[in-house]
Amino acid sequence: NAGVMQNPRHLVRRRGQEARLRCSPMKGHSHVYWYRQLPEEGLKFMVYLQKENIIDESGMPKERFSAEFPKEGPSILRIQQVVRGDSAAYFCASSETATEAFFGQGTRLTVV
């Protein structure tokens, strides 16, 4: 049973470009969470999705950021018109209904 898979592991984007981060949850998990970790800080919750639904997006910046978890395929975190402050590690986690969430290895986004 493969763990949570995130790709790419490293992503470099120029300011103003779009970044797309993918997350495939563990088999059988229908709940996906995205977190962001800035340098020297803890993980900050961004969004919680179930298949085709956004359940809680209270941690998402109001502009440029969006997330989806389609019926088929991975969850996508999309950042439009990236700025240097978006540089961070983005972690995805998945869970079944009421169990601990399991994290992927993260995508390190660098905006140059």
Write out the residues near another protein by the rule CB under 8 A: 4, 6, 31-33, 35, 40-45, 48, 56, 91, 93-106, 108
Residue with tokens 């797309």: 20
Task: Give the tokens for residue 110.
Answer: 């660098």
- CB of 48 or CB of 65, closer to another protein: 48
Listed in sequence order, the residues at least 6 apart from 82 whose beta carbon sits closer than 8 Å to its beta carbon are 13, 14, 15, 16, 17, 18, 19, 64, 109, 111
- CB of 88 or CB of 104, closer to another protein: 104
Instruction: Report in angstroms how near the CB of residue 56 gets to another protein at its nearest.
Output: 6
